[in-house]
Structure 1
């Protein structure tokens, strides 16, 4: 992946998760050039993409601002076009994890295909319930090649993506998501504390790093009445 697209994805994530807040000045080009260790020309390409998406705008003599998005009073309306975890989407809230299972094994055929690995390549498998402000939010079932980085239950209590960024210098830059409605089986209903057969939203994801390698295959289950997601469409017209 080109460096400017990595920068674009990173800044876009921070804008849509309110790390850079609507109506405020975006940090200077000098700040970003130093942060990402790139030239102004490369950075400008990333900023042009953000401007095309309608996320930022420039005022001559004043700087670059983050454009306010369509207001929505529902705090659970989260962007679907960002491959981010709960820690990023709810960065200002109390997040906790309950580990249901954690082990290492050889991958199944579906996991091999999605991760691009061989049958002999071991993977971690973990399931955890994520809670926000002590309210159950989702059930995560994650498969990750053991070669990515060593994991343990202490790491799984926090943000795995933050850990991978620090230890493996891995950045989540892209993801393929399949979204569908389903009914909760016994495991999902027990984990989310809902009745068996209740409707749930499922997000199946393959996550890719900055080199384009798949490092995670996951399925996340959300209580249908408690989660809403949004997807903004921007058409570039010449």
Structure 2
């Protein structure tokens, strides 16, 4: 006889279904912990375990001192825990830094990173090269209050490795939208292709394991350098 699932899993399953069925809308706040305890006749520890499952699946995010909110899952993604990886990686990948600045957060970045319009972000522009040949142009934004102490030497390597090893921040999941576009003048010049050359544009928001968004980026990538592998949990 199969053992019954733990109560926190049952609660997570019920909340997940409600989120996917749009009972809770994007960016809507979920009921407070006390209300969930009463609704499910469960302890605070049980509710927290259930919410942690949804955070790790990329369905909700938490705001300190405020509560839990539904993430934007309209980008045709599957609910499931995924490890966030950089689009271009490998031993033969090198990075050229085009620009690095601290700026006031643009409106779209403010929305994607769930920060205040008065907050500042890193504006990072890089060219990724494979065996010396440019394959991708990246523009990334990160909130300076989350990813502190960014340095030029970090930008030429793996930002995520720096975050894990020096800041104790763990990238967890990526919400990614991929579309086919022309390279355009700026990206075409950096990629050494014609401005009408077809490339893939990847728009993505990356989240930490506590549900906080910490990076919003736009990447233009030579299509022959990108392979998509997708695992769907049903």
Shorter-chain TM-score tier: 0.5 to 0.7
Q: Is the 8 A contact 2:97 2:125 kept in 1?
A: yes
1:191 corresponding residue in structure 2:
190
Q: Deviations over 1:50-105 (max 9, x none)?
A: xxxxxxxxxxxxxxxxxxxxxxxxxxxxxxx6520157x42xx2221111111001
Q: Is the 8 A contact 2:201 2:221 kept in 1?
A: yes
1:116 corresponding residue in structure 2:
114
Q: Which of 133-142 and 119-128 deviates more?
A: 133-142
1:136 corresponding residue in structure 2:
134
Q: Is the 8 A contact 1:149 1:167 kept in 2?
A: no
2:103 corresponding residue in structure 1:
105
1:181 corresponding residue in structure 2:
180
CA-based RMSD:
2.1
1:83 corresponding residue in structure 2:
84
Q: Is the 8 A contact 1:124 1:144 kept in 2?
A: yes
* 1:200–1:82 Cα change, 3 Å: farther
Give the Cα separation in 1 of the matches to 2:114 and 2:231.
30
* 1:179–1:82 Cα change, 3 Å: farther
SS class of match (2:225): coil
Alignment of 1:44-83 (within 5 A): 82-83=83-84
Structure 1 unmatched runs, 5+: 3-41, 47-80
Give the Cα separation in 2 of the matches to 1:217 and 1:190.
23
SS class of match (2:190): helix
Give the Cα separation in 2 of the matches to 1:203 and 1:142.
11
1:127 aligns with 2:125: yes
Q: Is the 8 A contact 1:99 1:127 kept in 2?
A: yes
SS class of match (1:118): coil
2:216 corresponding residue in structure 1:
217
Q: Deviations over 1:169-223 (max 9, x none)?
A: 0111112111111111111101111101211101111111011000000111111
Q: Deviations over 1:146-172 (max 9, x none)?
A: 112211211101000000111210111
SS class of match (1:165): helix
Give the Cα separation in 1 of the matches to 2:94 and 2:206.
22
Structure 2 unmatched runs, 5+: 1-7, 9-48, 54-81
SS class of match (2:228): strand
Give the Cα separation in 2 of the matches to 1:130 and 1:154.
15
Give the Cα separation in 2 of the matches to 1:182 and 1:86.
17
Give the Cα separation in 2 of the matches to 1:123 and 1:173.
20
Give the Cα separation in 1 of the matches to 2:113 and 2:225.
30
1:22 corresponding residue in structure 2:
none
Q: Is the 8 A contact 2:83 2:171 kept in 1?
A: no
* 1:99–1:155 Cα change, 3 Å: same
